[in-house]
Amino acid sequence: MSRGLPLVSIVTQVYNTGKEVVEAMESVRASSYPNWEHILIDDASTDNSVAIIESYCSETNYPCTLIKHEVNQGIAATRREIVSLARGEYIATLSDDLLEPSRLEQDVAFLEQQPYDVCGVFGLAKSFVPGHSSQSTTYGVLNVETTECVFDAARFSRMLLERNPIPAVSMTMRTRWAKTLPNLDDFFIEDYPHWVHLANLGCQFGHRSVVTTRYRDSQISVQKTRSSRVALDALRAKAMLLDSPYLDGNDVQRQLWKWFWSKQLVFGRNHRKEARALLVKTQSTWRYAFQGLGLYLVRFVQKHLRLGR
């Protein structure tokens, strides 16, 4: 690998996705950035994923570290293990998605010009459906005036209160920050609460308004198969903003209820009960509940008025 350039650690968790991960590895090989390491952990796949990956590495002389779990340890534990192994100054998580060729080169160049409290940089992710090249959606589009910018902690906290603006597959982080992230075993989706945690600490977030990653849109993605749990975890992540030094707690409470009302058709019965219990635990009141409902109804009407034009 090239000298003089910061090492980027690419980390991949594998579970029954051998064929798709090989496609992701192909995109790494096509990267314009030469100084990277690739660490993969197979979390006890039940199919031939390990054999597929090992065969590809042997045939192409692909440089990587492949660790094989004998017993499934779950997403959170495997993430902690794989991050602990990263030797690079920067870290990029890659599952079965595809890197744009210039992503790592441009992400590193951006971060090298920023102070340490800019914990990482994210871009846009454009979806693709295997076998359907015409179907795509672009995720992470923000109302920004420049191609590259930095959001300070206060502004980004306000963005996080509304929604998670970061396509996780597009994030390149400083490894030192990634290694300080808390253990969130009780979360099914960790990226949203991790961004809230970093914003609460005062971190800034870089953004490049270009497509940096192609996101594999699968019918078995957790966003589709576990949508109720994902909605609950989003509410729990937003609740962490009650500890933000940059936001008004009253506004946070209203936004929590707005989210709760907006997900009534998404929540399963048990997750709806958990969501209500969480709101009670935050010492929320019916005043916030009605205000949040009002915010949701206004948003609902505005959205459907636009659609009807």
Whether pLDDT at 220 is above 70: no
Whether pLDDT at 221 is above 70: no
Compute the average pLDDT of residues 215-239: 83
pLDDT digits 0-9 by tens, 96-144: 999 999 999 999 999 999 999 999 999 999 998 877 666 788 999 998 8
Contacts of 25 (CB under 8 A, 6+ apart): 38, 53, 56, 62, 64
Q: Phi first, then psi: give them for residue 206, nearest 5 degrees.
A: -85, 150
CA distances from 34 to 37, 38, 196 (A): 9, 12, 32
Q: pLDDT: is 69 or 3 the higher one?
A: 69
> Which CATH number fits the domain 8-216, given the four candidates 3.20.20.70, 3.40.718.10, 3.90.550.10, 3.90.400.10?
3.90.550.10
Whether pLDDT at 264 is above 90: yes
In this structure, of 8-12, 22-26, 169-173, 223-227, the range with the lowest mean pLDDT score is: 223-227
User: For residue 222, what pLDDT band results from cuts at 50, 70 and 90?
Assistant: low
Burial tier of 159 (Cβ tally within 10 Å: 0-12, 13-18, 19+): middle
Contacts of 98 (CB under 8 A, 6+ apart): 23, 24, 26, 27, 128, 213, 214, 216
> 172: helix, coil or strand?
strand
User: 131-135, 166-170, 281-285 — which one is most confidently predicted on average?
Assistant: 166-170
Identify which of 61, 59, 55, 16 has the alpha carbon closest to the alpha carbon of residue 38. 61
**Where are the chain's structural domains?**
8-216, 224-303
CA distance 97 to 119: 22
CA distances from 295 to 129, 142, 185, 290, 298 (A): 34, 21, 32, 9, 5
Tokens 């100084």 locate to: 35
Question: What pLDDT score was predicted for residue 189?
Answer: 82
Q: Yes or no: say if 47 and 16 are a contact pair by the CB < 8 Å rule.
A: yes
pLDDT digits 0-9 by tens, 81-99: 999 999 999 999 999 999 9
Residues 192, 222, 266, CA angle at the centre, nearest 5°? 85
CA distance 223 to 30: 29
Compute the average pLDDT of residues 51-61: 97
